[in-house]
Amino acid sequence: MPSYKLTYFNGRGRAEVSRLIFAVAGEKFEDVRYEMDQWPAHKAEMPLGQIPVLEVDGVKLPQSAAIARFLAKQFHLAGKDNFEQAKVDAVVDTIDDSFKGFVPTRFEKDEAKKEELTKKYFGEELPKHLQNLETLGKLYGNGGHFFVGKQLTWADLLFYTFAQAWIGVEADCLNNFPWLQQNRAEVEKQPKIAEYLKNRPNTPF
């Protein structure tokens, strides 16, 4: 049985999809969380000076998507064969495309500019990507509520956690996307996820 240690900030961010994977799989792991002032002392320990990092039997792996995909494959949440895994990857890439424009809106220091960027993102950019995600869900979902093959995969978990960040800023952003709303509702209903969501730390991000 390998030992798993996940290191990140004390927040959901880019590590939460991996925490959700561990929760669904019922697998134990060391959930290391650094506060912002603790992190500088550990930066040099990480291969790219960044987190999240997953340590598996003492070997460090950076890059949140590589980590999540590895864990999903370990615990059969990645798709049932190579082509299904590719469909899952395509959905994940499309979720990433959706999220790219969101990050600058959060870090903009000028309040007026931040409001403008945020309005543009939620008004023009995000809807296009959400449309694409609904298209993929209907193309690959075999008529079910999950993105690929009628089964929960890490694509559903990634969408769940990133969408939470969007909803935190703009509560109505999924109102025109019933398929995506239903997808998130299905994820929340999974017993191990419901349990995890009830008990996880409440953090600002």
Binding site for other proteins (CB under 8 A): 47-48, 56, 59-63, 65-67, 69-70, 73-74, 82-83, 85-87, 89-90, 92-94, 132, 135-136, 139
Of 122, 198, 200, the C-alpha closest to 163 is: 122
CB closer to other proteins out of 130 and 193: 130
The SS3 of residue 8 is: strand
CB closer to other proteins out of 95 and 193: 95
Crossing angle of helices 178-189/191-199, nearest 10°?
Answer: 80
CB closer to other proteins out of 94 and 105: 94
CB closer to other proteins out of 65 and 197: 65
CB closer to other proteins out of 68 and 187: 68
How far from the centroid of its chain's Cα atoms is residue 145's Cα? 18
Min dist. Cβ of residue 45 to other proteins (A): 13
Of 143, 148, 130, 138, the C-alpha closest to 89 is: 148
Locate all alpha helices (DSSP H) within 121-153, ordered by sequence: 126-140
Residues in the chain: 205
Min dist. Cβ of residue 191 to other proteins (A): 26
Min dist. Cβ of residue 31 to other proteins (A): 19
Cα separations in angstroms, 149 against 73, 75, 101, 114, 124: 15, 17, 29, 39, 30
Do residues 9 and 34 touch, judged by C-beta distance below 8 A?
Answer: yes
CB closer to other proteins out of 61 and 165: 61
Min dist. Cβ of residue 195 to other proteins (A): 27
Min dist. Cβ of residue 73 to other proteins (A): 5
Name residue 56's beta-bridge partners. Answer: 4, 59
Min dist. Cβ of residue 204 to other proteins (A): 25
Of 36, 12, 51, the C-alpha closest to 161 is: 12
